[in-house]
Structure 1
C-alpha cells in the first residue's frame, strides 16, 4: 500500500508539463526557484507550489542558504517507477510466454482446399 501511495505522488507530480520541464532542468544540475520559473514564464509563488508537489513526490529536494532556495534531484527519484515497470514487464512477458506455449501445444487445423 505504501508503494502505491508513493507511485500516486510521483505520477501526480509528473502529470503537469511545467513540473516535467522543471525536472528536465534539474536533471542537468541544481537550480534556484528563479532559474526554474523563468524558462516556463511562471511567477515565483506558482513555481514554489509546483516545486512543493515535486518535493512531496520525492522527486526533488531543496536546500536553503540565506535567502536563496536551491532545488536538486532526489537521488533515485524514479526508483519506485523503475520497480513498478519491471514488475509489469515481468508479468506481461510471463503472459506472452504462456500464450506461446499454448499456441505450440495446440495442433494446427488442416485447411480444406
Structure 2
C-alpha cells in the first residue's frame, strides 16, 4: 500500500477563512508529514465554521502543533500531531472537535 510521507516547509494543513465561505466534508487518509513550521493552522469564523473534516491514519510533525478554531464535527482515527517547541494542539471555539491524547 502506498503511504506518502511529505517533507513540509511551512504548514502541513492550513485553512484560514476570515470571511463567509462554505468549508465542509474533507477526508484525509494515510497522510504523514514532517519538518513543518506549524503542523495545523485552521481558522474559521463564528458565522462560517469549517465543518466535517475526517482524519484516518494521519500524522504531522514540526516545530509547533498549531491550532484549530471555529471548526465543527471533526472525526479523528489514528491521528497524531507532534510539535518540538509547542506540542499541544490548541483548540478554541469549536463544536465536536476532540482529539484523544
What range describes the TM-score normalised by the shorter chain of this pair? under 0.3
Greater per-residue helix proportion: 1
More strand, by proportion: 2
Q: Structure 1 length as normaliser, TM-score? A: 0.21
Task: Choose 1 or 2 for highest CA Rg.
Answer: 1
